[in-house]
A and B are shown apart, each in its own frame.
Chain A
Amino acid sequence: MLLTELFGQRKFVITGEVGPPKGIQINDLLHSADKHLRCVDAINVTDCQASMMKLGSLATCKALLDHGHTPVFQLVCRDRNRIALQSDLLSAAFFGINNVLLLTGDHTTLGDAPESKPVYDLDSVSLIQAAAALEKGFDLNGNKLEGELPRFAKGAVVSPCSDNVDVQLFKMLAKVNAGADFFQTQTVYEPEKFIDFMEIASGFGVPVMLGMVILKSANMARFMNKNIAGVSIPQGIIDELDNDKDKARSGVTGVNIATRVINECQEFCQGLHIMPMGWDDKVAEVLTGLKNKRNS
């Protein structure tokens, strides 16, 4: 199922996310997805997130597909040149994995192999162009593809609460012009900023899914504020997590914060992307708390 079809049906689309392990043992990941992530429309699989060498996104997507899930194949430009990127897009389509999220990718120096050579032969915008070209039957160099053509729902990312929103909107528009079909945002905790952002972004006419990380502790929130670009968590939310540590640890506070923010933003966006970071079991709780239940 292409996510674009769901957006076309005016469905409020909900996706989750899993991160492949460092190794080839993915029984736990699959078990958790089977148990907890049946409630979402599709599951993103990260591609060596934060430049940490992990099991491949494509292999994990295939395993999820075989378990009856709809995967979203995340693909970053950091580790592959345009030959490998386009080839991996074809491989995904070959497996029937048609939902893709196309990213530039964190720099290699941020991960667990900091001396590795970063590629960036393409960036997120030109990777979207490449996927769009493949759909039309050509590679980036204009060479013709043979036979049946691949189809993609081409996703991209944007940070609505970035400290420089103009920089974000500029790049977002470049992605729209390149052919992006939908956007997932960086996690949002300030509904006002998101709503302001959507006032302009909705003009681009491409569905936007609100990003949400379920906060596990005040320390996690402080860490994200300090280290993760495009994330700003207000002090009030940090205090809320700090005030009752047991409640925070059990996930009650994180789920409450998530549902509250989503409820304030829901009418301004077309979908929701939950990044549970291991808390797969909390996803259903967040969805239960939504004011506007899904119209499926």
Chain B
Amino acid sequence: MLVTKLKPLDEIFSLVQKKTVLICCEGCRDVHSPDDRAIATLRGLLFSRTDLSFVVTSYVCYREHLELLIQNNASIIDDADVILVLSCGAGVQTIADFVSCPVYSICDTISLPGYQGLTPSEFNCIGCESCHLNKTASICPVTSCVKGLVNGACGGAKNGMCEVDVSIECGWVRIFERVESRK
């Protein structure tokens, strides 16, 4: 069962830009995302603040499926200043890997055990309950750092590779590289 919880409204409003796309993932089986009423209210509030486009879909963590979704909505996504996502952390990361504009999560994933949809995503989320993706260029520090560090690198990386296994890129170096590439 997947459970997510909307982030505080102030935090969500601080993320909107001129052209904002909101992608809501209806997800895999047994999703407990914020209910329709809450999303409708949020949409209303966002409409009053930004030029909002709204896309509802499912399985954004599934790469091939997401690719189609992005193709079908190319006109609005290419034009977006920012994409806000309501999905589990894996979904947010998959979208961020596809597009060049900033991608932010507007919810915290609380729990994500068991069956996780059509396909296990190449990105991980363990439902840490306070999603860090908005501060880490949409790369999950909890699952991409071997020590699960959320405040920055441990200092053990050498030439960008993790101290634990030189075949793994240091998650925090990846975060910095993505930040740099988006400047």
Q: Is the CB of A229 within 8 A of B152?
A: no
User: With A107-B146, A123-B147, A229-B158 as given contacts, are A167 and B164 in contact (CB-CB < 8 Å)?
Assistant: no
Q: Which residues of B contact A86 (CB under 8 A)?
A: none
Q: What secondary structure prevails in chain B residues at the interface with A?
A: loop
Q: Is the CB of B155 within 8 A of A157?
A: yes
User: With A123-B154, A170-B152, A171-B155 as given contacts, are A164 and B147 in contact (CB-CB < 8 Å)?
Assistant: no
Q: Is the CB of B147 within 8 A of A229?
A: no
The distance in angstroms between the C-alpha atoms of A157 and B154, with both chains bound, is: 10
Q: Which residues of B contact A98 (CB under 8 A)?
A: none
User: Within 8 Å of chain A (Cβ to Cβ): is B112?
Assistant: no
Name A163's closest neighbour in chain B (CB-CB). B159
Within 8 A of A (CB), among B115-171: 146-160, 163-165
Q: Which residues of A contact B104 (CB under 8 A)?
A: none
Q: Is the CB of B150 within 8 A of A123?
A: yes
Q: Is the CB of B149 within 8 A of A104?
A: yes
Within 8 A of B (CB), among A143-160: 157-159
User: With A164-B176, A166-B176 as given contacts, are A171 and B151 in contact (CB-CB < 8 Å)?
Assistant: yes
Q: Is the CB of B160 within 8 A of A123?
A: no
| Total contacts A-B at CB 8 Å | 68
Q: Which of A120, A126, A227 has its CB near the most chain B CB atoms (within 10 A)?
A: A120
| Closest CB in chain B relative to A79 CB, distance in Å | 13
User: Within 8 Å of chain A (Cβ to Cβ): is B70?
Assistant: no
Q: Which residues of A contact B153 (CB under 8 A)?
A: 164, 167-168, 171
Name A118's closest neighbour in chain B (CB-CB). B147
Per-residue CB contact flags for chain A residues 108-136 toward chain B (1 = under 8 Å, else 0) read 01100000001010011110000000000
Per-residue CB contact flags for chain A residues 79-120 toward chain B (1 = under 8 Å, else 0) read 000000000000000000000000011110110000000101
The distance in angstroms between the C-alpha atoms of A159 and B152, with both chains bound, is: 13
Q: Is the CB of B149 within 8 A of A167?
A: no
User: With A110-B164, A123-B151, A126-B151 as given contacts, are A167 and B172 in contact (CB-CB < 8 Å)?
Assistant: yes
Name B165's closest neighbour in chain A (CB-CB). A109
Q: Is the CB of A163 within 8 A of B155?
A: no
The distance in angstroms between the C-alpha atoms of A159 and B155, with both chains bound, is: 7
Q: Is the CB of A229 within 8 A of B164?
A: no
The distance in angstroms between the C-alpha atoms of A66 and B61, with both chains bound, is: 59
The distance in angstroms between the C-alpha atoms of A125 and B153, with both chains bound, is: 11
Q: Which of B154, B159, B163, B173 has its CB near the most chain A CB atoms (within 10 A)?
A: B154
**Subset of 17 A-B contacts with CB under 8 Å:** A104-B147, A104-B155, A107-B147, A118-B147, A120-B147, A120-B148, A120-B149, A123-B147, A124-B154, A125-B152, A164-B153, A167-B157, A170-B176, A174-B151, A186-B155, A229-B155, A229-B156
In the complex, the 6 A-B pairs of residues with the closest C-beta atoms, listed nearest first:
A171-B152, A125-B151, A104-B154, A107-B164, A120-B147, A229-B158
Q: Which residues of A contact B (CB under 8 A)?
A: 104-107, 109-110, 118, 120, 123-126, 157-159, 162-164, 166-168, 170-171, 174, 186, 227, 229-230
Given contacts A124-B154, A164-B160, A166-B176, 12 further A-B contacts (CB under 8 A): A107-B147, A107-B164, A110-B164, A123-B154, A124-B151, A126-B151, A162-B155, A167-B173, A174-B151, A174-B152, A229-B157, A230-B155
Q: Which residues of B contact A (CB under 8 A)?
A: 146-160, 163-165, 172-173, 176, 180
